[in-house]
Amino acid sequence: MTVHTKNELFVAGSWAPARGERITMTDPSTEEPVYEVPEAGKDEIDTAVAAACEVHDAGSWASVPPAERAAYLLRFADELEKREPELNVQLAREFGAPIGIAREVAGAAGLTRYLGSRIGEVNFEVRLSGAFRPTLVDQVPVGVVAAVVPWNAPIFLAVQKAVPAPLAGCPVIIKPAPETAYSAFALAEAFEAAELPAGAISVLPAGREMSEYLVAHAGIDKISFTGSTATGQRIAAIAAGGIKRTGLELGGKSAGVILPDADFAEIMPAILLGTTVNSGQACSLLSRLLLPHNRRDEFLDAYTAALDTVVVGPALDPKTTMGPMVTWQHYAKVVRHIDIGRREGARLIRGGGRPAGLDRGYFLEPTLFADVDNGMRIAREEIFGPVIAILPYKSEEEVIRLANETIYGLAAYVQSADIGHARAVASQMRAGNVHLNYPAGDTAAPFGGYKQSGNGRESGKWGLEEFLETKAVIGYQAA
């Protein structure tokens, strides 16, 4: 197979030769190398940060009227959409996203257009009469942003950071994950074609060492990170040294509460999607299903039948609905958790191994455990794979306790024929996002977690406000 290569980095709005290490990506469906890109070194990071600081300190980007900043980013959305066919192939080859159900690029363009259309609703300047004297409250850009993006939805999650930040007036350095670094160059090309000012955007792939160099850099004012809780803790520790602002969207162990009146036939398509999406490699995965004790067997029959419809296979096969794990290392980690579940006494109902006929690639069957309790590691730890735990309950008080009995608090789900009852249960869930009868996410809604699922919010006006700092100008009175 041909290995596609890139030899330049997008530094401060232009392409520059890279002299450092190389990053190789392996297609998880074939286990063959497919892409190679340069890794940013200290020189490229220093150049990008210096250019971003110059843009911020001069106020040249922030002084562009918000509507004009939005126009730049709406052009970016158009340019990104033009690249959708090639990007879908790249994402399939980088981390195994099935091409037949690809929606990520369209979602990223849609989010960009929504945010751009709402910029007029942000109050960048508020006049107060004050308790004793007039005050002007300015909402100003927080500064230079390091946007550290994971591999499991690399285009959408990059846009979730790299659109609201410049809308707010902040220059951004996007740091894509090594596993999906090639597709990040399409992002850079789209930003270049949108003609944002020099210094406003850089795209710098890097591994752990250079990523830490970036987030620790004195010129970085805010770090926006999506990824594991362990990495988020490391970033928070680095940020603490400079009291940098952070937005951390971290791990999850989301509970799906199925109330006794739920219609299993009606909810099953949503449950299937929520438990197998992205091969289970999603922070808001519906990984714990909490069922009424007296309906457990009925649900297991319906759910295992639904799992039989999942087509596991190569990501470029249009019939595939669930692709491989991203890397061999991650595949091995998920398999270890399945072995742990067996040893802890959970009952394996389905899956647990490699699908028949797929001898190459990092493929895993959807795996279902019953007889799980919240003390087991498969119920406590984020596995980041298609491993689902069934926990029975006997009362509403018990199910709410079980749902909240976790260090995480990113998402939760409530299924009921009575939407008012579902809302009452949702009000008691300690999670940043609670889905009633599993609707898809909404670009207007804030996204983020409680507890060790992180801090801050993304999407909607809340996501944009994360990149603004509040300044009070006391005693100001217009002439």
454's tokens: 């992180």
Predicted structure pTM score: 0.96
pLDDT confidence of residue 438: 83
3-state DSSP assignment of residue 307 = helix
Q: What DSSP assignment string belongs to 6-25? A: --EEEETTEEEE--S-EEEE
Active-site residue (options: 283, 365, 382, 466): 283
User: CB neighbours of 55 closer than 8 A, spacing ≥ 6?
Assistant: 61, 171, 197, 198, 199, 200
pLDDT confidence of residue 20: 82
In the residue annotation, 249 being an active-site residue is answered as yes
pLDDT confidence of residue 441: 79
Tell me if 289 sits within 8 A of 264, measured CB to CB: no
User: CB neighbours of 449 closer than 8 A, spacing ≥ 6?
Assistant: 249, 250, 252, 408, 409, 410, 411, 431, 432, 433, 455
Tell me if 291 sits within 8 A of 299, measured CB to CB: yes
165's tokens: 């930040």
3-state DSSP assignment of residue 411 = strand
Distance CA 142, CA 220 (A): 10
Distance CA 180, CA 276 (A): 21
User: CA dihedral defined by 369, 375, 379, 382, rounded to 10 degrees?
Assistant: -140
C-alpha closest to that of 156 among 49, 13, 283: 283
pLDDT digits (tens, 9 = 90+) for 67-126: 999 999 999 999 999 999 999 999 999 999 999 999 999 999 999 999 999 999 899 999
pLDDT digits (tens, 9 = 90+) for 406-444: 999 999 999 999 999 999 999 999 999 999 998 777 889
Distance CA 163, CA 119 (A): 11
pLDDT digits (tens, 9 = 90+) for 167-208: 999 999 999 999 999 999 999 999 999 999 999 999 999 999
- Residue ranges and CATH numbers for the domains of the chain are 4-250+454-474 (3.40.605.10), 254-443 (3.40.309.10)
pLDDT confidence of residue 439: 73
Average pLDDT by stretches of 10, the chain with 479 residues: 93 92 97 98 97 94 94 98 98 98 96 95 91 93 98 98 97 98 98 95 97 98 98 97 97 97 95 95 96 96 97 98 98 98 97 95 98 96 98 97 98 96 97 90 92 96 96 85
pLDDT confidence of residue 479: 63
Estimate to the nearest angstrom the gap between the alpha carbon of 327 and the chain centroid: 18
Distance CA 314, CA 284 (A): 24
Report the share of the chain in percent with pLDDT over 90: 95
